[in-house]
Amino acid sequence: MSQIAKVRFTNKDKSKFFSTLRQNVDQYFTTNNISKHANAHMIWKTVLMMAMYYVPYSLMLIFHLSFPLLFAAFIMMGMGMAGIGMSVMHDANHNAYSSRQGVNKWVGYSLNLMGGAVFNWKLQHNVLHHTYTNINEMDDDIDGANMMRLSPHRKYRKIFRLQYIYAFFFYAILSLHWVTGKDFFQLFAYRKKGVNRESKAGFYRQLFSLIGIKAFYYFYMMFIPVYFFHYSFGAIILAFVMLHVTCGLILSVVFQLAHTVEGTSFPQPNNANEIENDWAIHQMNTTSNFSRNNPFVNWYVGGLNFQVEHHLFPNICHVHYKAISEIVEKTADEFGVPYLQYTGFWEAVGSHVSILKHFGREHTELHLS
């Protein structure tokens, strides 16, 4: 059994916070006769997000675009790719998009069409991140790949003093790394750690599937435009990089504002490999919302600015998060549980930069005001 699998949460105070909260949220859906899954707004949103990615690609093939227009088309595709990641495949791969698992499965495969692998993503995100949020060496979202210190428990290196400056470069290349080598690194790393528990045959099926996913992605993104539509290889490469710079910056910043900001905590297991807290309260301590009242942010980032609600109820479609956030905040106040949030987007960005500076110091205190 892996070290990760041995970690347990202990509700030492016997808190009834989460059971009460679940009852309150369930009552909201029952009273209003609302499904917890996608509604008409979500369906239209899915169409628009997909169009933001595939329409520019189609126009590139129909019309031989000049380089400035090609560049603009790929930037739009990058925005669409981020939007699909945050608003469409994310809900589907949490089984929140539909009550029908077949729908969730096929909508979730939109990740594969963009060069990712659903089976890897679910291990990193659904299993590791959602269970062990902000726990060093367990939550891959705060790993930092030895170039960033996103937890006070990570070993200190002098280069971290500048991480608040160079962090955004690494954010920009996140999705580029993801569609090239990251999936392969994760596949073998999760196998070694015991996170991926597929049989040997199942593991090799995943490996061959991953090779196929990448081959298909690069075929339609590069080979088709260059070989069949006579775009220069250099132009496609530059546009492709810009697509991923756009997508990477959006995805990275949105996810960092949820957990790596001032006020969130970074607990570690005790000697008995226990987190001495109820799992739900652990999520409240390690997660923060931002821009709850910004209509554009609420629409575009797929409710990921309501990370508190998402971490507590990942199987509820994000279109409902704003409504249930009031219930979560009220219940948290009744139980004396923190409800962390930032009013505006740039306020949260500033807090993230501040915590990068803070963790860049050799002697880092755990709790920030």
What pTM does this model have?
A: 0.92
Is residue 69 classed as helix, strand or coil in its secondary structure? helix
Let me know if residue 367 belongs to a domain: no
Confidence of residue 13 (pLDDT cuts 50, 70, 90): confident
Distance, in Å, from the CA atom of 369 to the CA atom of 362, rounded to the nearest integer, reads: 19
10's CB contacts (< 8 A; 6+ apart) are 274, 275, 276, 277
288 vs 305: CA distance, rounded Å: 8
Average pLDDT for the chain: 92
Whether 366 maps to a domain, the answer reads no
How many other CB atoms sit within 10 Å of the CB of residue 16?
12
H/E stretch holding 170 reads: helix 163-172
In a domain, 365, yes or no: no
Q: What are the backbone dihedrals phi and psi of residue 339, each rounded to the nearest 5 degrees, phi first?
A: -120, 100
pLDDT band at 258 (very low <50, low <70, confident <90, very high): very high
- For the stretch 92-144, pLDDT in tens is 999 999 999 999 999 999 999 999 999 999 999 999 999 999 998 889 888 87
Q: Residue 50's Cα: distance from chain center in Å?
A: 18
> Taking the alpha carbons of 355, 359, 360, 362 in that order, is the dihedral positive or negative?
positive
Task: Decide: helix, strand or coil at residue 274.
Answer: strand
pLDDT confidence of residue 368: 43
Q: What is the pLDDT of residue 5?
A: 56
Number of structural domains found in the chain: 1
Whole domain around residue 316: which residue ranges?
A: 3-359
pLDDT tens figures, 208-243: 999 999 999 999 999 999 999 999 999 999 999 999
Instruction: Please give the average per-residue pLDDT across 187-210, as a whole number.
Output: 92
Half-sphere exposure of 133 (CA within 13 A, CB side): 27
- Which residues have C-beta within 8 Å of that of residue 40, sequence separation ≥ 6? none
The CA–CA distances, whole Å, from 67 to 7, 51, 81 equal 52, 21, 20
* Residue 127, helix vs strand vs coil: helix
End-to-end CA, the chain: 38
Residues 7-11 have a mean pLDDT of 84
